[in-house]
Amino acid sequence: MVRAFVAGLLALAAGAAAKTVNYDFNVSWVQANPDGMADRKVIGINGEWPLPVINVTKGDRLVVNMYNGLGDKSTSIHWHGMFQNGTNNMDGASMFTQCPIPPGSSFTYNFTVDQNGTYWYHCHTDYCYPDGYRQALLVHDVDAPFYDQYEEEIPITLSDWYHEMMEDLSTEFMSLYNPSGAEPIPDSFLMNDGQNRTFAVKPNTTYLLRIINTGNFIAQYIYIEGHNFTIVEVDGVYTEPQEASVLYVHIAQRYSVLLTTANSTELNYKIVTVADSDLMDGIPSNLQLNNTNWLVLNEDAPLEQAVITAATSDDLVPFDDFTLVPTDGMALLPEPDIQINVTVYMVNLMTGYNYAELNNITYTAPKVPTLYTALSAGDLRTTEVVYGEYTHPIVLEHNKVVEVILNNGDGGSHPFHLHGHNFQVIQREPPLGPEFNSYLDGDPIGYDPNNHTDFPPIPIRRDVIVLPPQGFVVLRFVADNPGVWVFHCHIDWHLASGLAMTFVEAPELIPTHVSIPEDHYAACAAAAIPTVGNAAANTEDYTDLTGQNAQPADIPDGWTSKGEVAMAFSVLSAVLGIISLVYYGLADLKHRPKPAPAARDSSEGEVAAVSTEVPSKSG
Ligand SMILES: *[C@@H]1O[C@H](CO)[C@@H](O)[C@H](O)[C@H]1NC(C)=O
Ligand SMILES: *[C@@H]1O[C@H](CO)[C@@H](O)[C@H](O)[C@H]1NC(C)=O
Ligand SMILES: *[C@@H]1O[C@H](CO)[C@@H](O)[C@H](O)[C@H]1NC(C)=O
Ligand SMILES: *[C@@H]1O[C@H](CO)[C@@H](O)[C@H](O)[C@H]1NC(C)=O
Ligand SMILES: *[C@@H]1O[C@H](CO)[C@@H](O)[C@H](O)[C@H]1NC(C)=O
Ligand SMILES: *[C@@H]1O[C@H](CO)[C@@H](O)[C@H](O)[C@H]1NC(C)=O
Ligand SMILES: *[C@@H]1O[C@H](CO)[C@@H](O)[C@H](O)[C@H]1NC(C)=O
Ligand SMILES: *[C@@H]1O[C@H](CO)[C@@H](O)[C@H](O)[C@H]1NC(C)=O
Ligand SMILES: *[C@@H]1O[C@H](CO)[C@@H](O)[C@H](O)[C@H]1NC(C)=O
Ligand SMILES: *[C@@H]1O[C@H](CO)[C@@H](O)[C@H](O)[C@H]1NC(C)=O
Ligand SMILES: *[C@@H]1O[C@H](CO)[C@@H](O)[C@H](O)[C@H]1NC(C)=O
Ligand SMILES: *[C@@H]1O[C@H](CO)[C@@H](O)[C@H](O)[C@H]1NC(C)=O
Ligand SMILES: [Cu+2]
């Protein structure tokens, strides 16, 4: 059946022009119980959940008319991995490229898909996709180098799952009672939005598995007993085939793998997923970290639960994606024109809540979506000042080579995503594998430009990279896509905590590259969000940011360590007569406190690195 579908596309590709794929999405709350443990409200489309998988052929135009029928929540759709070259306003990132679409409003997404591989779509407005608003988007390509090597495709989404609504979890998360920033622990893990999935397959037959982590928070290992994978695509980039037995798929990452089934129909094979418990502050005893689903070769053979020999997820050795090579052979980009050096920190600010910062900025949404500021600021659009301090804007000149040095001052791993591009990953320490947590033993170690291993001649490119605990990654891309692009951690808790910054790329070209349809402005009007002005919505003087949304102040000296802050705020809560509200421990050690503001320039507790001579523009 799938083959018939693909054959139809082949006929199309051979002669006819690319087609338009139309969807009407009426977004509303529906009930679901994917793990069999709790009925809950989820965000459905046209009254259904799981949501529709979107299939397009490379070159197609995708038009999605979305109506927000939720009644009580604003939304948007981000087409994860789509470069939106010339259609920046279709990127779906609320307050970056559009207004959040309020209940009762409609909004049309309309863009062409001229990329390869495996993608997904998800809400990109405060805390919305983990309520179920996410699904696969698959691009079919008859010219894929592995196209004639498989018989059928099998899309596989992995996700963590919560029984409580994001709305309720988020108020516990960002609160005085959670000064350590411990993320809510999921209640279960899903495959294709359910559990105990069976995939009927034929023996000795090759399939293309398209694996996507559509979760909120937790990375998962995946392997299939008795089989290996051959990786052929990551995040939309075809790769030279490489064999792997275990994959580590962090939030928003995708892998396409060829899988040849066993010769015999004697047994069914276990597809095993193991949640990365390193990301969790505590593991509730009833949480099923590892789950079994099955490749079914024989309907009469038993479906047994996997017996996991590894004691913890750390004993599984995953494939290191840094070693992959894109089939298009794109060479290492030259020395950068622009170098951005940012470090992840987890901090407490004056509200007493926990925030995430890149250097000293926790992303705080502007009053006007940044793209609309770029469109309305006239010649000042090329200056960073108009975008406000707390959106953490960096203006990138057209076609310059950009290098991002991303250091991790935190003890957790972070899956970083860049909109509008994929990037070359030219360095990562420690590597994915047994050494992954090895920098946790001492202070964080930053990238040293004078002491690094050789860059790969043909580096892997992808759009989500795992930043190791207390380690670093170095990324390069060309600023060849005029527009406003978010660079952020894809753990939704961390995005909400401010782990994001804004690249404003070739702003002088944005007005000629991007035009905003009427319905996009209408959504803003309905949401009472201005569409002209600087980040503070000032239309008179774009350099005057008075009244901009600002991050909370730093905690004054003397309240410097997170432990003390946690203590102070828990004392405060006790004084207020509020007890036993602390569900996740205050004694969290995973998140490393950032040094006090006064100590930022000293070496103590700082990310150690040698500074560089590259003509640089740093965040
Ligand atoms: C899947 O199987 C496990 C083990 O038998 C069971 O505990 C769980 O409830 C099942 N999940 C669903 C959604 O039926
Ligand atoms: C989608 O965009 C194309 C190109 O701008 C335009 O021709 C077409 O009318 C648009 N379709 C819709 C439904 O807006
Ligand atoms: C989309 O493609 C996948 C994988 O080829 C297939 O399983 C699914 O049935 C397709 N969905 C539709 C609606 O065509
Ligand atoms: C498996 O398939 C391959 C290629 O389709 C074929 O050459 C081989 O003989 C098959 N092996 C068995 C045991 O069926
Ligand atoms: C999988 O690959 C490993 C090493 O890469 C090899 O030892 C093992 O035999 C392979 N297993 C299968 C089923 O091909
Ligand atoms: C995309 O697919 C085409 C073949 O359709 C191939 O030539 C090109 O190298 C691929 N690009 C990437 C980034 O995978
Ligand atoms: C299938 O059978 C062939 C020939 O007996 C063997 O070489 C191959 O390893 C088998 N493949 C699997 C997946 O069992
Ligand atoms: C598998 O899950 C069980 C229960 O959740 C846990 O005790 C065990 O350590 C897990 N194994 C791995 C490898 O995570
Ligand atoms: C961050 O540091 C820079 C340079 O020291 C300073 O100019 C800026 O005001 C700081 N921003 C915040 C939000 O603290
Ligand atoms: C260079 O880096 C290596 C590996 O990270 C480290 O062991 C070594 O001490 C560093 N050398 C210098 C001179 O900093
Ligand atoms: C965007 O399109 C321009 C012009 O066709 C091209 O040069 C550039 O490489 C594209 N960038 C991306 C990220 O697709
Ligand atoms: C990056 O910034 C950090 C903190 O300001 C500094 O210690 C480090 O030397 C810088 N690294 C590079 C490569 O510029
Ligand atoms: Cu993160």
Which range, of 309-313, 381-385, 549-553, averages the lowest pLDDT?
A: 309-313
Over 60: is that where the pLDDT of 589 sits? no
Residue 309's pLDDT is 75
328 lines ligand 6 (CB under 6 A): yes
- The mean pLDDT of 153-168, rounded to a whole number, is 98
- Amino acid identity for residue 519 in this structure: D
Q: Which ligand neighbours the alpha carbon of 498 most closely?
A: 13
In a domain, 516, yes or no: yes
User: Is-contact 512 506, C-beta < 8 A?
Assistant: no
Over 60: is that where the pLDDT of 338 sits? yes
In a domain, 514, yes or no: yes
β-strands 61-68, 106-112 pairing: antiparallel
Q: Which ligand neighbours the alpha carbon of 388 most closely?
A: 9
Ligand 9 atom nearest to CA at 600: 5
Domain that holds residue 399: 338-526
With H, G, I as helix, E, B as strand and everything else as coil, classify residue 574.
helix
Ligand 12 atom nearest to CA at 339: 14
In the structure, what pLDDT confidence band is assigned to residue 90 with cuts at 50, 70 and 90? Answer: very high
Q: How far is the CA of 302 from the centre of ligand 7 (A)?
A: 22
Residue 572's pLDDT is 46
* DSSP secondary structure code for residue 143 in this structure: T
238 lines ligand 6 (CB under 6 A): yes
Give the DSSP H or E segment for 418: strand 414-418
Q: How far is the CA of 407 from the centre of ligand 12 (A)?
A: 9
pLDDT digits (tens, 9 = 90+) for 395-435: 999 999 999 999 999 999 999 999 999 999 999 999 999 99
Which residue has the CA at smallest separation from atom 10 of ligand 4?
204
In a domain, 137, yes or no: no
Q: Which ligand neighbours the alpha carbon of 462 most closely?
A: 6
- The mean pLDDT of 468-479, rounded to a whole number, is 98
Which range, of 66-80, 251-265, 298-312, 490-504, averages the lowest pLDDT?
A: 298-312
Measured CA to CA, the distance from residue 373 to residue 388 in angstroms comes to: 10
263 lines ligand 5 (CB under 6 A): no
Ligand 6 atom nearest to CA at 58: 5
In a domain, 359, yes or no: yes
The pocket around ligand 1, CB under 6 angstroms, is made up of 35-36, 194-196
Over 90: is that where the pLDDT of 595 sits? no
Which residue has the CA at smallest separation from atom 4 of ligand 4?
204
Ligand 6 atom nearest to CA at 117: 14
Q: How far is the CA of 86 from the centre of ligand 11 (A)?
A: 9
Total domains in the fold of the chain: 1
H helices present in 277-398, as ranges: 370-376
Ligand 7 atom nearest to CA at 260: 13
In the structure, what pLDDT confidence band is assigned to residue 611 with cuts at 50, 70 and 90? Answer: very low
In a domain, 46, yes or no: no
Residue 3's pLDDT is 45
In a domain, 269, yes or no: no
pTM: 0.91
360 lines ligand 9 (CB under 6 A): yes
Q: Which of 58, 79, 82, 85 to mutate to test the pocket of ligand 11 (most atoms within 8 A of CB)?
A: 85
Over 80: is that where the pLDDT of 204 sits? yes
Ligand 6 atom nearest to CA at 233: 14
Q: Which of 202, 204, 261 to mutate to test the pocket of ligand 7 (most atoms within 8 A of CB)?
A: 204
pLDDT digits (tens, 9 = 90+) for 513-537: 999 999 999 999 999 999 999 999 9
155 lines ligand 3 (CB under 6 A): yes
Which residues sit opposite 68 in a β-bridge?
27
- CA 224 to the chain's CA centroid: 25
- The mean pLDDT of 166-173, rounded to a whole number, is 96
- The mean pLDDT of 527-553, rounded to a whole number, is 98
Q: Which of 110, 112, 114, 518 to mutate to test the pocket of ligand 2 (most atoms within 8 A of CB)?
A: 110
Q: Which ligand neighbours the alpha carbon of 6 most closely?
A: 3
Cβ atoms < 10 Å from Cβ of 295: 24
- The mean pLDDT of 6-34, rounded to a whole number, is 77
226 lines ligand 5 (CB under 6 A): yes
Q: Which of 278, 308, 313 to mutate to test the pocket of ligand 8 (most atoms within 8 A of CB)?
A: 308
Phi, psi of 211, deg, nearest 5: -105, 130
- Comparing CA positions, the residue from 434, 445, 447, 494 lying closest to residue 470 is 445
Residue 614's pLDDT is 38
Measured CA to CA, the distance from residue 113 to residue 65 in angstroms comes to: 16
Q: List Cβ neighbours of 501 (8 Å cut-off, separation of 6 or more).
A: 342, 358, 361, 363, 391, 392, 393, 394, 486, 487, 488, 619
- Amino acid identity for residue 111 in this structure: F
Ligand 3 atom nearest to CA at 55: 1
Which residues sit opposite 406 in a β-bridge?
342, 473
Q: How far is the CA of 230 from the centre of ligand 5 (A)?
A: 11
Over 80: is that where the pLDDT of 619 sits? no
Residue 44's pLDDT is 98
Q: How far is the CA of 531 from the centre of ligand 4 (A)?
A: 62
> What percent of the chain has pLDDT above 70?
87
In the structure, what pLDDT confidence band is assigned to residue 558 with cuts at 50, 70 and 90? Answer: low
The pocket around ligand 11, CB under 6 angstroms, is made up of 83, 85, 421, 480-481
User: Is-contact 551 361, C-beta < 8 A?
Assistant: yes
The sheet with strand 198-200 has its strands ordered as 198-200, 290-296, 269-275, 220-224, 247-249
The pocket around ligand 4, CB under 6 angstroms, is made up of 204, 263
* DSSP secondary structure code for residue 98 in this structure: B
Over 80: is that where the pLDDT of 245 sits? yes
User: Is-contact 122 78, C-beta < 8 A?
Assistant: yes
Ligand 5 atom nearest to CA at 227: 13
262 lines ligand 7 (CB under 6 A): yes
Q: Which of the two residues, 599 and 299, has the higher pLDDT score? A: 299
The CATH number of the domain holding residue 427 is 2.60.40.420
Residue 185's pLDDT is 97
Residue 556's pLDDT is 83
In a domain, 417, yes or no: yes
55 lines ligand 3 (CB under 6 A): yes
Ligand 8 atom nearest to CA at 315: 13
- The mean pLDDT of 130-155, rounded to a whole number, is 98
In the structure, what pLDDT confidence band is assigned to residue 350 with cuts at 50, 70 and 90? Answer: very high
Mean pLDDT rounded to a whole number for the chain: 90
Ligand 4 atom nearest to CA at 203: 14
Q: How far is the CA of 489 from the centre of ligand 13 (A)?
A: 5
Residue 555's pLDDT is 87
Over 90: is that where the pLDDT of 573 sits? no
Q: How far is the CA of 451 from the centre of ligand 10 (A)?
A: 6
Ligand 1 atom nearest to CA at 33: 13
In a domain, 357, yes or no: yes
Q: Which of the two residues, 77 and 611, has the higher pLDDT score? A: 77
Over 60: is that where the pLDDT of 567 sits? no
> What percent of the chain has pLDDT above 90?
85
Which residue has the CA at smallest separation from atom 10 of ligand 7?
263
Q: How far is the CA of 68 from the centre of ligand 12 (A)?
A: 44
In the structure, what pLDDT confidence band is assigned to residue 313 with cuts at 50, 70 and 90? Answer: confident
Over 80: is that where the pLDDT of 365 sits? yes
